[in-house]
């Protein structure tokens, strides 16, 4: 037994089951004595023998990031990991970590992030595990972590070893070589291989194109400055809120209209940007805005796929695409046109992984502001923004013109997501259970103004490895192909969040430009009645509509 490795006895916690995206909890829960350590021990045990292996560590920089990373390094060292690569100051975006795990042939990656959730002592914290392919750990591994977590009697760590995350270069943490790295250059280089940087520089550097990227005081600031301002010569100051802060400067790092308010407001000004974009806390989500519209995420992935010829890294090689089930079917229409398969997967990036690994797809995306490709195994916010810019540079169109051209060609899959947040668990689950029990009865019937064609519960069989995932959302499709999807969120930190996704295809010229809310009118109300939401939850309206 190695000297300085100590075993700390502790009682297991019973709530350490990872959700859609790792273990996400209130910071106050994570900072209880032994909570993080026990979870990390469960991760280490689930990974098996780590002796001699390399692990990459990153984080979005939120409150508790640094102490958590230092804890992880000590525990990995106690598990005899030979090399740890960690972002300077503990910072590394989620997609940059995925790239680094792959590039360095690491065995695993650990990410400390709660994505777009607010940070701070009152906010949220989270831990994600990625495997050697750079992808979020699949269900079989997360389930093993949970099983280990329930049986722990303590954890192993190092006694008193200091780690300096601010000092670039290598240091020894007992017998583990800890390299503090700056992932920005590697990431920027990877982007240069995929996109036409000369064309991008011409567009962004031109005086007629006003460009703004809002990093929301979160992890992408240094990446965005390097790429947009240094390499592509956007005027200095084009990247705003560019310094990652522990409390995100009081912002909620979610790039939607409710929280990226400054950016949305700037776009509406007369002298506002022609192109605006933002990403979330850990840099995997994106929003793209034109002067008069924000691109809906389900449309974003469809438009990226439809215009793949514009981006050098994708021209002539998109052989398949995928979307999560609740994401609108805009991508399916593009896939049909391209003559390539469009796979449908459960919510969560991990389900795209086997399709990407096996070469079945090149592009994929989710309605929750995530898009990505086979360059990484995570969604990638800056990648999506660069891809958009590359298309605009080639097609010489504004964001608004490109979106409207797309709608005219493929129809518009008007889409809305309605979230009922912080529901009491029993009520929310009973509601889903009751709806599930009635699916057969409502099929073929007219209910609350909807003529229901099919009503079922979505389950998935991975076409590559045959693994299955049941109960991934309840789907109602009407005779005129409108769709309602119900599912409970897997990333919440208190109570249940019910998500309802509604979608309707519109083709008529005049209507195309109406608000999404107008185009899906009737569906949210019918969805609420159909599932008896007021009775089960006591709520008469959703908390967030996006």
Would you tell me which residues interact with ligand G1P (CB under 6 A)? 20-21, 115, 324, 347-349, 366, 368, 370, 489-491, 499
Q: How far is the CB of 119 from Zn ion (least distance, A)?
A: 12
Q: How far is the CB of 22 from ligand G1P (least distance, A)?
A: 9
With CA atoms as reference, report the closest residue to 275 among 252, 293, 258, 253.
Answer: 293
Furthest CA-CA distance within the chain: 75
Q: How far is the CB of 34 from ligand G1P (least distance, A)?
A: 27
Nearer to Zn ion, 280 or 366 (CB): 280
Torsion of CA 112, 117, 120, 122, to 10 degrees: -120
CA atoms within 13 A on the CB side of 485: 24
**Partner from Zn ion, ligand G1P, none binding residue 220, C-beta < 5-8 Å depending on class:** none
Query: Where on the chain is the footprint of Zn ion (CB under 5 A)?
Result: 115, 280, 282, 284-285
Q: How far is the CB of 112 from ligand G1P (least distance, A)?
A: 15
**Partner from ligand G1P, Zn ion, none binding residue 347, C-beta < 5-8 Å depending on class:** ligand G1P
Nearer to ligand G1P, 75 or 302 (CB): 302
**Partner from Zn ion, ligand G1P, none binding residue 16, C-beta < 5-8 Å depending on class:** none
Q: How is residue 513 annotated by DSSP? A: G
Find tokens 């991008």 and name the residue.
200
Nearer to Zn ion, 370 or 524 (CB): 370
314: tokens are 């994708």
What does the angle CA 59 – CA 64 – CA 68 come to, to the nearest 5 degrees? 65
N-to-C CA span, the chain: 54
Encode burial over 431-464: b for 16+ CB neighbours within 10 A, e otherwise. bbeebeebbeebeeeebeebebeebebbebebee
The Cα 125–Cα 486 span in angstroms is 26
Q: Count the neighbouring beta carbons within 10 Å of the beta carbon of residue 160.
A: 7
Which residue of this chain has its Cβ atom nearest to Zn ion in the complex?
Answer: 115
The Cα 237–Cα 544 span in angstroms is 32
**Partner from Zn ion, ligand G1P, none binding residue 366, C-beta < 5-8 Å depending on class:** ligand G1P
Could you tell me which residues are beta bridge partners of residue 544?
419
Could you tell me which residues are beta bridge partners of residue 483?
477, 503
Q: How far is the CB of 373 from ligand G1P (least distance, A)?
A: 16
The Cα 186–Cα 233 span in angstroms is 19
Could you tell me which residues are beta bridge partners of residue 290?
none
With CA atoms as reference, report the closest residue to 183 among 252, 312, 75, 283.
Answer: 283
398 is catalytic: no
At residue 2, the 3 state secondary structure works out as coil
Nearer to Zn ion, 369 or 523 (CB): 369
The Cα 303–Cα 530 span in angstroms is 33
Q: How far is the CB of 321 from Zn ion (least distance, A)?
A: 21
**Partner from Zn ion, ligand G1P, none binding residue 375, C-beta < 5-8 Å depending on class:** none
Going through 132-202 in order, the beta strands assigned E by DSSP cover: 154-158, 169-173, 176-181
Q: How far is the CB of 180 from Zn ion (least distance, A)?
A: 23
17: tokens are 């089951």
The Cα 134–Cα 422 span in angstroms is 32
Nearer to ligand G1P, 325 or 403 (CB): 325
**Partner from ligand G1P, Zn ion, none binding residue 282, C-beta < 5-8 Å depending on class:** Zn ion
**Partner from Zn ion, ligand G1P, none binding residue 21, C-beta < 5-8 Å depending on class:** ligand G1P
With CA atoms as reference, report the closest residue to 300 among 222, 379, 223.
Answer: 379
Check 93, 115, 149, 279 and give the catalytic one. Answer: 115
Encode burial over 243-254: b for 16+ CB neighbours within 10 A, e otherwise. ebbebbeebbbb
**Partner from Zn ion, ligand G1P, none binding residue 280, C-beta < 5-8 Å depending on class:** Zn ion
The Cα 496–Cα 286 span in angstroms is 25
Nearer to Zn ion, 21 or 328 (CB): 21
Q: How far is the CB of 185 from Zn ion (least distance, A)?
A: 22
Q: Count the neighbouring beta carbons within 10 Å of the beta carbon of residue 494.
A: 12
**Partner from ligand G1P, Zn ion, none binding residue 349, C-beta < 5-8 Å depending on class:** ligand G1P
The Cα 376–Cα 134 span in angstroms is 7
With CA atoms as reference, report the closest residue to 93 among 195, 226, 203.
Answer: 226
Q: How far is the CB of 292 from ligand G1P (least distance, A)?
A: 27
Kindly list the catalytic residues.
115
């Amino acid at each position: 037994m190695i000297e300085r490795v100590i075993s700390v006895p502790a009682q297991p916690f019973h709530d350490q089951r990872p959700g859609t995206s790792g273990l996400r909890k209130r910071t106050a829960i994570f900072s209880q004595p032994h909570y993080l350590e026990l979870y990390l021990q469960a991760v280490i045990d689930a990974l098996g023998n780590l002796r001699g292996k390399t692990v990459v560590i990153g984080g979005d920089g939120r409150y508790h990031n640094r102490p958590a990373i230092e804890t992880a390094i000590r525990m990995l060292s106690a598990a005899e990991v030979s090399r740890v690569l960690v972002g300077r100051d503990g910072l590394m975006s989620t997609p940059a970590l995925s790239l680094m795990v792959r590039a360095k042939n690491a065995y695993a990656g650990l990410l400390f992030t709660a994505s777009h959730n607010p940070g701070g002592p009152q906010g949220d914290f989270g831990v994600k595990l990625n495997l050697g392919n750079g992808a979020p750990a699949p269900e079989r591994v997360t389930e093993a972590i949970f099983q280990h977590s329930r049986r722990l009697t303590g954890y192993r760590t190092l006694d008193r070893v200091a780690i300096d995350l601010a000092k670039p270069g290598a240091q020894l943490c007992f017998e583990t070589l800890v390299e503090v790295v700056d992932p920005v250059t590697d990431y920027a280089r990877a982007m240069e291989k995929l996109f036409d940087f000369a064309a991008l520089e011409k567009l962004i550097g031109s005086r007629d194109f006003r460009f703004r990227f809002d990093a929301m005081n979160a992890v992408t600031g240094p990446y965005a400055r390097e790429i947009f301002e240094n390499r592509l010569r956007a005027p200095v100051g084009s990247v705003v809120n560019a310094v990652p802060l522990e409390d995100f400067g009081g912002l909620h790092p979610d790039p939607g209209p409710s929280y990226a308010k400054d950016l949305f407001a700037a776009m509406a000004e007369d002298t506002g940007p022609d192109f605006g974009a933002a990403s979330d806390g850990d840099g995997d989500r994106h929003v793209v805005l034109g002067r008069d519209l924000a691109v809906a995420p389900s449309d974003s992935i469809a438009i990226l796929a439809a215009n793949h010829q514009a981006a050098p890294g994708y021209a002539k090689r998109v052989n398949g695409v995928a979307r999560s089930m609740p994401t609108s079917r805009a991508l399916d229409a593009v896939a049909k046109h391209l003559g390539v398969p469009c796979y449908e997967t459960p919510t969560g990036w991990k389900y795209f992984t086997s399709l990407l690994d096996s070469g079945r797809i090149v592009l994929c995306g989710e309605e929750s502001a995530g898009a990505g490709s086979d360059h990484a195994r995570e969604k990638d916010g800056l990648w999506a923004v660069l891809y958009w810019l590359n298309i605009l540079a080639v097609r010489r169109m504004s964001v608004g013109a490109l979106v409207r051209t797309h709608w005219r060609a493929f129809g518009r899959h008007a889409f809305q997501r309605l979230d009922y947040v912080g529901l009491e668990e029993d009520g929310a689950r009973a509601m889903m259970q009751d709806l599930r029990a009635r699916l057969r009865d409502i099929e073929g019937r007219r209910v609350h103004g909807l003529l229901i064609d099919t009503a079922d519960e979505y389950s998935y069989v991975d076409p590559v490895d045959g693994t299955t995932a049941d109960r991934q959302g309840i789907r109602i499709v009407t005779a005129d192909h409108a769709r309602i999807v119900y599912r409970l969120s897997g990333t919440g930190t208190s109570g249940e969040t019910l998500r309802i996704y509604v979608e309707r295809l519109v083709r008529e010229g005049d209507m195309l430009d109406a608000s999404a809310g107008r185009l899906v009118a009737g569906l949210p109300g019918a969805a609420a009645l159909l599932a008896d939401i007021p009775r089960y939850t006591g709520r008469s309206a959703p908390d967030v509509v996006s």
